Structures are given as structure tokens and as C-alpha cells.
Amino acid sequence: MELNFLLIADYANLSIDQKLNVMGIFESIQSAAFPMTHPEMYVVLRLEAGAAEYGRAFKLSVKLMDEDAGNSPVDLSFEVTVPTPPQRGSTVRVQPILRLSNTVFQKPGTYQLSVLVDGDEKGTLALYVHQFQPQNAA
């Protein structure tokens, strides 16, 4: 099982014919005050499996941790089974899309999004959370 890509976006879905639609890919967010709540974001990833993994169930974990690894606003795990394609021998793509609502960030900094398959880290992505000073109206 290999991670083909990992991203965060404003919205994503899979069409009925398994086309991946992604809008608003981002790597940073900002807020004037902390803790802050981000209303909605989508974690999009694609895993590729070979013939030896057809029908195999595995534990997929997605974690988002702050720089100190002391705060984890996202820690999800679920089971996924690799489908058997109609044409044996071909690569299978598993494309989970995770909708995250009201994710709380306690402080600004660099957060790490990690994808693990059966406890083995397959890839990471940095999410930069910035604090900005609001402009005073004159």
C-alpha cells in the first residue's frame, strides 16, 4: 500500500464514476485569535494497492498534530478493505475523503498531517497556522 498523494482542500468529492473533484487546495490558514475553530476542510488522499493486497482489510489512521505533538485536533482511524478490480493484476486506488468540521487549533504554528496504514506512516503534509494582527479602522 503506497500513498500517491495527500492534500487539504476547501471541498472534495468523488463522482459516481470515481472521478476525484477537489476545490481550494491550501497549506495554511490564519486567525487573529487563538484558540481558533476552522469551520470545514477536507483531507484528500489516494492509496494504491497491488494484486497481493486485493481483499485485504487494513487500519487507516489520519492524525493532525501540533509542533509539540501535545495537541492533536484530528485523530481518526477506520478500517478500509482493498477492492478486487474486474481486471486482475491492475493497481487499485483507494481514495478516502475526510470531511473535518469545526477543527480547533489551540495555537499558531506548524501542524503535521500524517497518514498511517496499519501503524506504518505512509506520508505527511505540513499545515501552517498563522496569527495575524487585525487592522485598526481609522
Strand order across the 28-31 sheet: 28-31, 120-131, 109-117, 57-65, 74-81
CA 123 to CA 120: how far, in whole Å? 9
Backbone φ, ψ for residue 52 (5° rounding): -65, -15
Q: How does pLDDT run across 53-109, given as a tens digit for each residue?
A: 999 999 999 999 998 876 788 999 999 999 988 777 788 999 999 999 999 999 999
Q: Does the pLDDT value for residue 123 go beyond 90?
A: yes
Question: Percent of the chain at pLDDT above 90?
Answer: 80
CA 122 to CA 116: how far, in whole Å? 5
Q: Does the pLDDT value for residue 24 go beyond 90?
A: yes
| Domains of the chain listed by start with CATH number | 2-131 (2.60.40.2550)
Contacts of 51 (CB under 8 A, 6+ apart): 88, 89, 90
- Residue 119's CB: how many other CB atoms inside 10 A? 9
The residue among 36, 33, 50 whose CA lies nearest residue 90 is 50
For range 107-120, the mean pLDDT: 96
Residue 138's pLDDT is what? 56
For range 30-52, the mean pLDDT: 95
The residue among 56, 119, 125 whose CA lies nearest residue 84 is 56
Look-up: residue for cell 495555537? 107
Tell me what the pLDDT averaged over the chain comes to.
93
Residue 133's pLDDT is what? 85
Residue 18's pLDDT is what? 86
In the Cβ-directed half-sphere of 80, how many Cα atoms lie within 13 Å? 23
